[in-house]
Amino acid sequence: MEVRVQGSGPTAPFLSARDLFETEADVELPIRVHVREDPDERTWTGHYDDHHVLNISRRAATSVMARELTIHEFAHMVRYEEEHPSHVQSTDEALFLGLAGNSVERRKVAHCYQIANHMKDIYADDITMRVSPPEKLVSFLESSLAAAVADQPSPPRAGLMPIQPGADPDITAVNAAFALALVERHDLVDDDHPMYELARVAASDAPDVSVERFKRHFATLADDPSESGYRKALVDVTREYALGRQQAAD
């Protein structure tokens, strides 16, 4: 694997990630790492004909999760090179198929893109789990979920106080379902792990979202789906989230 860090960013976490990743998998095209100054820049990967680009904030690149985040992005690159349906299926196309003829809130459409990314992450992390020890990932999922649950909007009191902004309860519930699906898919935690209690809290804040059903959607994704099978799975989960279970079934 060819990994080049652009600019003045740290190199150690990316080279360490490469060395560990090569024990189980390989990325054929060269990888260019761009360390961004924006602390809010999320880690994401761009794919081109002759190379991949890993974009990561300096904050993430210097964090204790830097190596694990990099391995996760390398796994996305492998899925793209494999032309895995999860990584070549157009999300725009799936959302159009799932939502055509319906009026959907803008926030829910945005959440549908996040759900599609979760499905990609499931398949990337099927590779990640073969490469990286899971302890840091489990801690990261738990802390991220705990922060989102704690950031729920404050309810009004006696109808006098407006709801304060915070994490959207509906997508927090879906995120909880994704976290549980990932750890259950790879048998990473026991039934009494704190994530289960956090997920119950998230579910109680979002009564219109079934954490159990979304967990099942993510956890039971076929290992090697056909293009049509994956598209149907993405359309189904999109319709359930945006339209509700009953409408999605109609």
What would the pLDDT profile of 227-237 be if each residue is shown by its tens digit? 999 999 999 99
Please check whether residues 117 and 44 belong to one and the same domain. no
Domain that holds residue 19: 3-68
Residue predicted with more confidence, 155 or 82: 82
Same domain, 64 and 100: no
> Looking at residue 159, what is its pLDDT?
39
Count structural domains, the chain.
2
Beta bridge partners of 33: 5, 54
Q: Per residue in 169-203, pLDDT tens?
A: 999 999 999 999 999 999 999 999 999 999 999 99
Start-end of H helices in the chain: 12-21, 58-61, 66-81, 85-88, 91-99, 106-131, 135-150, 169-185, 194-205, 211-219, 227-243, 245-249
d(C-alpha 18, C-alpha 35), whole Å: 16
Q: How far apart are CA 74 and CA 27, in angstroms?
A: 7
On whether both 64 and 96 belong to a single domain, the answer is no
Q: In this structure, is residue 74 part of a structural domain?
A: no
- Residue 22 inside a domain? The answer is yes
> Coil, strand, or helix at residue 1?
coil
Same domain, 36 and 139: no
Do both 47 and 105 map to the same domain? no
In a domain, 118, yes or no: yes
Looking at the structure, do residues 42 and 112 belong to the same domain, yes or no?
no
The angle at the Cα of 60, spanning 127 to 136, to the nearest 5 degrees, equals: 50
DSSP secondary structure code for residue 124 in this structure = H
What are residue 234's phi and psi, to 5 degrees? -70, -40
Can you tell me which residue has the tokens 């789990």?
Answer: 129
Contacts of 43 (CB under 8 A, 6+ apart): 54, 55, 56, 57, 60, 69, 72, 73
Q: What is the pLDDT of residue 43?
A: 85
> Are 225 and 181 in the same domain?
yes
Q: Is residue 77 part of a domain?
A: no
End-to-end C-alpha distance for the chain, whole angstroms: 48
Would residue 43 count as lying in a domain? yes
58 shares a domain with 100: no
SS3 of 88, please? helix
For the chain, where are the E strands, in sequence order? Answer: 3-6, 31-36, 44-47, 52-57
Sequence letter at residue 216 = R
Q: Residue 153 gets which letter from DSSP?
A: P
Same-domain check for residues 49 and 94 = no
Task: Report pLDDT digits (tens) over 42-100.
Answer: 788 999 999 999 999 999 999 999 999 999 999 999 999 999 999 999 999 999 999 99
- Dig out the tokens for 185 from the structure: 């898919």
- Residue 73 forms part of a structural domain: no
146 vs 165: CA distance, rounded Å: 17
Are residue 120 and residue 190 in the same domain, yes or no?
yes
Whether residue 79 lies inside any domain: the answer is no
Do 154 and 189 lie in one domain? The reply is yes
Domain end residue (candidates: 68, 100, 123): 68
Token pair listed for 21: 């990743």
pTM, to two decimals: 0.90
Does residue 158 fall inside a structural domain? yes
Mean pLDDT of 89-116: 94
User: Are residue 112 and residue 160 in the same domain, yes or no?
Assistant: yes
> Rounded to the nearest 10 degrees, what angle do helices 169-185 and 194-205 cross at?
150
Residue 41 confidence (pLDDT): 66
CA dist 2 and 213 (Å) reads 41
